[in-house]
């Protein structure tokens, strides 16, 4: 989906042939094969790469907002899943200066978002290896197929980096598909007076020669689209939700409007733990920036991002994603309803548990068309089944959210409340810090509800075209 940018001049055909011959001969006898240049995601086939799994990202970044210039060194620690003669990383734009594998300088070439690395020696299957990429340049803003913007988004006083679905490749090289999750350590240097806020826990903050370096650590596995970086002027608040550290960073212009909602983070987490099970990460909080052009909030892991002051419904939605989407992450972008349907249903449960409409009443209003202000909006949720969006441009359309939540309500009615809430907690526990797809979910529900006939729910509500008949 991303535009390809080539920052090195094309080589003439003889030079390309010579490079190919050198690469083939490098390292003695070749016993491996190149890793795939994508994982064949149904909507973003070039996203991610085959042949290895990343365990850890170590990112050292320095950004100058005035010059709009990023300098980076990314070190990935990975395990080969096959014998590798070469492998790919996703990186959009930027200028690559050097690549090393282990201690050896590696050959590399660029083609669009693909950075192909040829190590000095082949890598054996199950071997753990490291690759370090030095790069710099002006990171890009990415326009998604649905017209939304992600990647490196400049703000009035800095930048906001957002990655769903593929924007993270605009600011660091990696295996940018949700099926490959890893731990992260991020050190970011910015001009003194600005702050750099990311996921996880702040491990260090030092100032020297007019620049400040912030060090962030995320120990639990994280998909790259959930990594974030906000650079700018922020009001910082530190508190606790029980034993859990809460770190919020708020643009001063949004502070007054945000304060009443953000102070309820501990309350929302206590409620969510009762409904969904133990919170899956070692820290929590929020980033509230002044970014009206972004137009969406994002469930960036452990610290959701809001482009302005959130309301309670939005806070509940993004915190529920910490269980459903961040800890239990979709296997592919086709499974987005497992993120958005669950987080939308969490909104319904919050209302039900706090004196508002029951989830059943919300379902009924959606089915009748009374939920939305216009008939057109009410019809949009029936345009396609939530488990099968028709294109990359529609993976975040209303059926994925609203009809996805309706699937969960139909499951609840089919199995009863006691079993249903056990399923919500068990699903989050069984796939904690892992990946799952829709087939995993339907199989899990059927296992937890033996004897219940759920085929009608799956056929009509999850996979069926159009508005299902109401029994």
pLDDT of residue 79: 98
- 141-150 pLDDT tens trace: 999 999 999 9
**Model pLDDT for residues 40-74, shown as the tens digit of each residue:** 999 999 999 999 999 999 999 999 999 999 999 99
- Quick one: pLDDT band at residue 7, thresholds 50, 70, 90? very low
Task: Please state, rounded to an integer, the average pLDDT across all residues of the chain.
Answer: 94
pLDDT for position 303: 98
pLDDT, tens digit (0-9, with 9 covering 90-100), for 222-264: 999 999 999 999 999 999 999 999 999 999 999 999 999 999 9
DSSP state letters, 33-85: EEPPS----SS-TTSS-SSEEEEEEEEEEEEETTTTEEEEEEEEEEEESS-EE
Region 352-360: mean pLDDT is 98
Q: Model confidence over 442-470: pLDDT tens digits?
A: 999 999 999 999 999 999 999 999 999 98
- Please check the confidence at residue 387 and state whether its pLDDT lies above 50: yes
Residue 124 has pLDDT above 60, yes or no: yes
pLDDT at 471 (0 to 100): 66
At residue 11, does pLDDT exceed 90? no
Residue 380 pLDDT > 80: yes
Please state, in angstroms and rounded to a whole number, the distance separating the CA atoms of residues 154 and 138: 11
CA 195 to chain centre: 22
Indicate if the pLDDT at residue 297 is higher than 70: yes
* CA-to-CA separations, 58 to 62, 149, 176, in angstroms, rounded: 14, 26, 15
Whole-Å CA distances, 347 to 257, 268, 275, 294, 333: 21, 11, 12, 22, 22
The whole-number average pLDDT for the span 133-156 is: 96
Task: Considering only the C-alpha atoms of the chain, give the largest distance between any 2 of them, rounded to a whole number of Å.
Answer: 73
Residue 31 has pLDDT above 80, yes or no: no
pTM (whole model) above 0.85: yes
Rounded to 5°, the CA angle 115-119-124 comes to 115
Helix (H, G, I), strand (E, B) or coil at 86: strand
């Amino acid at each position: 989906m991303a535009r390809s940018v080539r920052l090195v001049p094309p080589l003439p055909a003889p030079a390309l042939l010579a490079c190919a011959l050198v690469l083939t001969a490098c390292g003695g006898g070749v016993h491996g094969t190149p890793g795939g240049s994508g994982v064949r995601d149904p909507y973003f086939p070039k996203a991610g790469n085959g042949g290895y799994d990343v365990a850890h990202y170590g990112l050292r970044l320095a950004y100058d907002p005035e010059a709009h210039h990023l300098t980076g060194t990314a070190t990935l620690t990975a395990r080969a899943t096959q014998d590798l003669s070469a492998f790919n990383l996703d990186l959009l734009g930027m200028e690559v200066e050097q690549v090393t594998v282990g201690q050896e300088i590696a050959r590399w070439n660029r083609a669009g978002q693909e950075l192909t690395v040829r190590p000095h020696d082949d890598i054996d299957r199950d071997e753990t290896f490291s690759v370090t990429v030095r790069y710099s340049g002006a990171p890009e803003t990415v326009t998604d197929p649905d017209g939304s913007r992600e990647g490196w988004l400049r703000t009035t006083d800095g930048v906001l980096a957002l990655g769903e679905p593929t924007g993270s490749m605009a600011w660091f090289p990696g295996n940018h598909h949700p099926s490959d999750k890893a731990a992260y350590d991020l050190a970011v240097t910015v001009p003194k007076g600005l702050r750099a806020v990311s996921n996880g826990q702040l491990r260090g903050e030092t100032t020297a020669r007019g620049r400040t370096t912030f060090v962030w650590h995320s120990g639990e596995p994280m998909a790259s689209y959930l990594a974030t970086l906000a650079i700018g002027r922020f009001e910082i608040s530190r508190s606790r939700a029980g034993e859990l550290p809460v770190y919020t960073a708020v643009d001063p212009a949004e502070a007054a409007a945000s304060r009443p909602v953000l102070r309820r983070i501990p309350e929302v987490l206590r409620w969510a733990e009762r409904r969904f099970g133990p919170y899956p990460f070692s820290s929590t909080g929020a980033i509230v920036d002044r970014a009206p052009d972004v137009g969406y909030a994002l469930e960036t892991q452990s610290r959701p991002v809001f482009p302005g002051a959130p309301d309670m419904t939005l806070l509940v939605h993004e915190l529920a994603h910490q269980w459903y989407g961040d800890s239990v992450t979709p296997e592919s972008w086709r499974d987005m309803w497992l993120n958005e349907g669950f987080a939308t249903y969490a909104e319904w449960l919050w209302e039900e548990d706090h004196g508002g409409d029951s989830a059943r009443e919300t379902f009924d209003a959606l089915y009748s068309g009374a939920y939305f202000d216009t008939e057109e909006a009410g019809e949009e949720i029936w345009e396609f089944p939530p488990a099968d969006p028709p294109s990359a441009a529609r993976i975040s359309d209303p059926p994925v959210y609203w009809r996805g939540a309706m699937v969960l309500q139909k499951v609840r009615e089919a199995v009863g409340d006691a079993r249903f809430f056990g399923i919500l907690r068990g699903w989050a526990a069984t796939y904690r810090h892992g990946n799952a797809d829709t087939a995993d979910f339907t199989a899990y529900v059927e296992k937890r509800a033996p004897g219940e006939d759920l085929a009608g729910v799956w056929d009509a509500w999850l996979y069926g075209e159009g508005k299902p008949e109401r029994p």
